[in-house]
Structure 1
């Protein structure tokens, strides 16, 4: 089967959607299919080639484009002739520019992965966003999505808790297929690094992700004084970069917890595996609907690490609360502190949760299983087109 994916952003642009599209394309190729990704050549600073074949065998076509406003790529190079010869058109949204171009206008089945609702974060660069901006912006984006999505043959997202609370999906036919993870690559890194259970640091807390307003890292930082009052030797590692970093660094200074917090910036794959594996708990404090799943939870569980996550639609359906991690109310430093302290106080409980998380990754979030669910959607859509 020849599949073309239309993704507004793709490697070397980084983010959850980009990683999902690349991993799904890889899994499809491993099943013997051919995958081409058409995307926008952003950010321009990366100087990515207009065409290349990635090591996994993914063919990538990058179009000249500009980012209008925030997270809104625009290109004049895309045309429907580029889709000739493919069996399936798989579109990733939002943004909706590619879907707008193909919806109701191509003969092939159009499959849509709906990654998240268009959402305005509460703040940018540490500054709160005026609330009057939110309703008209989100409302118009949701209305546009509800207009376009019914024109696709099949729409799916990654968790039912997100779909049933989405102003877009809750009243539209949709399927649910979770995100997968290639844990064999993680296993290889663990072996290469000599990581064994005794390498777990019973006082190491990890945040790993982009330092953006929706990620909620500042709420974890605000939880640290309470954590340190009970466990003075606790250490928080913050691995990532982004527009909120300056605000978070200032917050660490204001709270006078500098010696307990380490900023690492970005890291290599092996270093990420080491950080996940050696931490006793990974904290996922995201706060809004820009976070619809949380691939980092899978990465933590694949490394036998317990997760403390915000109880928000989508991410709250990834792990098993009480078995592979703990859920806490969003934007609640006290609740984060209490959950983390409960695991620091009982490292064996934390390790047992990490082990259960690993079992969940192998059974539920294995790409070899998940890609078959996606292929079943392709076959279903093709059969309907033939009738």
Structure 2
């Protein structure tokens, strides 16, 4: 099996400082592909704003940069890159792209150029009214672009049942074309302490995510203010970076006592997140929209319960009242009350976290998810060959 992937995960070129496990996932995909066909290979076209050399982290896995000044120009620069490296690229049996937007447009061209089936991935809730409102004019146009790309694709992989439902009901996409396969998480070890590792206080509430509009940062601080007013010994840790970082630091300084009540860590390497999950009493995700909600799943693996909004993906993971709590979007008073209850009932919170771990280990086993992805690619190849 020869797979060509189009990705926006530039962090694969920064393996030593990467804050995600993208490269690990690529390696796992290739390993699973080789179990079906030993001569399998994976070429990944990666959008990047910086120039990098082609890299080969392991045999038969190549990372090929598409250097473009901005994501909107990815299709044009992607076509040039493919034509430039045509003699290097393996002719793909199947193509998969990370989004139905810019990478999706490039995917349609690749589908015609290589005459290979195309799978379009959807990792965020593009049907959310909050996503449309974020850039009202532009995102309405992008939504129509996504619809066109999806309708031309041979298969669609989404990470949540919410998006799958909208694809079927709003766009009349046949159910047989849609596969719901979340992003696999490969935390299979207990965290180990190292010199300088952060030690969190008791009653710590953790937020992990990008500091951007979809994460509802104003709502996050509304929750922090409510909880810290009621529970003076509560602490909040914010791990992440983004264009709202300055706002986060200003609000943290404003609400903190002696600068210690709210800890803003910035971006944390992926391998170090388990130490945060393990020490926290609850993970929170007050988002406006989410594709999946991977941090909830990660927290459960370390028996930490979660509170999130009904923003898409978390609804597939959290069993409200059993493994954590779900609230309506922007219902921050109710959100805060759930956090307070968990902090005041640590034994019950631990039980919820343990149930969450059992649930995700059963429903989101990473090896099973990877196998399903590879089987889906094989299915697209076989259907295309009929």
The TM-score with structure 2 as length reference comes to 0.83
Q: Secondary structure at the match of 2:98?
A: strand
Q: Is the 8 Å Cα contact of residues 29 and 370 (structure 2) preserved in structure 1?
A: yes
- Distance in 1, Cα, partners of 2:234 & 2:161: 36
Q: Is the 8 Å Cα contact of residues 103 and 148 (structure 1) preserved in structure 2?
A: no
Of the structure 1 ranges 373-382 and 27-36, higher mean CA displacement relative to structure 2 is found in 27-36
In structure 2, list runs of 5 or more residues that go unmatched: 35-39
Q: CA offset at residue 132 of structure 1?
A: 10
Aligned to 2:183: 179
The answer to whether the aligner puts 1:30 opposite 2:38 as a matched pair is no
Of the structure 1 ranges 305-314 and 224-233, higher mean CA displacement relative to structure 2 is found in 224-233
- Distance in 1, Cα, partners of 2:341 & 2:75: 44
Q: Secondary structure at the match of 2:360?
A: helix
Q: CA offset at residue 64 of structure 1?
A: 2.3
In structure 1, list runs of 5 or more residues that go unmatched: 124-128
The answer to whether the aligner puts 1:78 opposite 2:81 as a matched pair is yes
Aligned to 1:100: 108
Q: CA offset at residue 105 of structure 1?
A: 4.3
Aligned to 2:334: 335
Aligned to 1:111: 119
- Distance in 1, Cα, partners of 2:341 & 2:365: 30
Q: CA offset at residue 114 of structure 1?
A: 1.8
Q: CA offset at residue 373 of structure 1?
A: 1.2
What whole-Å deviation, never above 9, does each CA across 1:177-230 have from its counterpart, x for those lacking one? 12211121xx1x52x339xxxx99640100111111111233122112321233
Q: CA offset at residue 278 of structure 1?
A: 0.3
The answer to whether the aligner puts 1:231 opposite 2:260 as a matched pair is no
Q: CA offset at residue 143 of structure 1?
A: 1.5
Aligned to 1:66: 69
Q: What is the aligned length?
A: 362
Distance 1:118 1:52, change over 3 A: same
Q: CA offset at residue 101 of structure 1?
A: 1.8
Distance 1:383 1:321, change over 3 A: same
Q: Secondary structure at the match of 2:342?
A: helix
Aligned to 1:144: 145
* Residue 94 (structure 2) aligned to one of 85, 88, 99: 88
Q: Secondary structure at the match of 1:226?
A: helix
What whole-Å deviation, never above 9, does each CA across 1:157-196 have from its counterpart, x for those lacking one? 0111223236997421322112211121xx1x52x339xx
Q: Is the 8 Å Cα contact of residues 220 and 336 (structure 1) preserved in structure 2?
A: no
- Distance in 2, Cα, partners of 1:169 & 1:54: 41
Q: Is the 8 Å Cα contact of residues 27 and 61 (structure 2) preserved in structure 1?
A: yes
* RMSD value, Cα: 3.1
Distance 1:296 1:169, change over 3 A: farther
- Distance in 2, Cα, partners of 1:351 & 1:359: 12
Aligned to 1:215: 215
Aligned to 1:2: 2
Q: CA offset at residue 350 of structure 1?
A: 1.1
Of the structure 1 ranges 324-333 and 206-215, higher mean CA displacement relative to structure 2 is found in 324-333
Aligned to 1:266: 267
Q: Secondary structure at the match of 1:78?
A: helix
Q: Is the 8 Å Cα contact of residues 8 and 73 (structure 1) preserved in structure 2?
A: no
Of the structure 1 ranges 357-366 and 273-282, higher mean CA displacement relative to structure 2 is found in 357-366
Q: Is the 8 Å Cα contact of residues 26 and 56 (structure 1) preserved in structure 2?
A: no
Q: CA offset at residue 83 of structure 1?
A: 5.3
The TM-score with structure 1 as length reference comes to 0.83
